[in-house]
């Protein structure tokens, strides 16, 4: 893979903004488990090897099981591995990540309201937006994998 620019070195203010978003997300009320499912699923959809590598390691360190990580891309068929809340979050992640298809559907939004208050839904949406931004940075710059 060709070497490309390092945005963090070239435009540190841009990364400062991205890290500010991460600081905000660190403090929100949605669980670490939910945040990692969002990060992994979005990264899978976006084919971001760098982020998949990073966030699967973080999820494992946070107590996530290998089985749930391995089957996340097939969550509909492995539905008993995920809670109803997690299923809604995964569905939101897919719909927002693939926004060009339909965006967040009314059906999924209504399901989310059964499990989350409006602030939590806003936090979930912001978490999805953040990882999609990181995915786009890593993929477009060919960010090399960390060990």
Confidence of residue 145 (pLDDT cuts 50, 70, 90): confident
Q: Which residue carries 């390092």 as its tokens?
A: 6
Give yes or no for a contact between 55 and 39, defined as CB atoms under 8 angstroms apart. Answer: yes
Rounded to an integer, the average pLDDT of 109-138 is: 98
Nearest Cα residue to 127 out of 70, 53, 43:
43
Taking the CA atoms of 42, 48, 51 and 56 in sequence, report the sign of the dihedral they define. positive
Checking if the pLDDT of 40 tops 90, the result is yes
Residue 63's pLDDT is: 96
* CB neighbours of residue 46 within 10 Å: 19
Nearest Cα residue to 59 out of 80, 31, 84, 79:
31
Q: How far is CA 107 from CA 112, 113, 121, in A?
A: 9, 10, 14
Please tell me the CATH code under which domain 30-140 is placed.
1.20.1290.10
Task: Tell me the domain boundaries of the chain.
Answer: 30-140
Nearest Cα residue to 125 out of 108, 137, 107:
108
Give yes or no for a contact between 81 and 69, defined as CB atoms under 8 angstroms apart. Answer: no
Rounded to an integer, the average pLDDT of 43-63 is: 97
Residue 1's pLDDT is: 67
Radius of gyration of the chain (CA): 15
* CB neighbours of residue 121 within 10 Å: 19
pLDDT digits (tens, 9 = 90+) for 68-98: 999 999 999 997 999 999 999 999 999 999 9
């Amino acid at each position: 893979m060709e070497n490309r620019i390092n945005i963090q070195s070239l435009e540190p203010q841009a990364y400062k903004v991205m890290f500010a978003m991460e600081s905000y997300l660190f403090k929100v009320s949605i669980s670490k488990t939910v945040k990692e499912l969002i990060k992994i699923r979005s990264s899978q959809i976006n084919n971001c090897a760098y982020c998949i590598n990073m966030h699967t390691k973080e999820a494992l360190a946070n107590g996530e099981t290998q089985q749930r990580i391995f089957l996340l891309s097939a969550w509909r068929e492995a539905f008993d591995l995920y809670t109803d809340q997690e299923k809604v979050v995964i569905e939101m992640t897919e719909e927002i990540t693939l926004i060009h298809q339909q965006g967040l559907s009314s059906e999924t939004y209504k399901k989310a309201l059964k499990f989350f208050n409006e602030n939590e839904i806003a936090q979930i949406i912001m978490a999805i937006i953040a990882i999609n931004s990181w995915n786009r940075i890593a993929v477009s710059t060919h960010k090399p994998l960390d060990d």
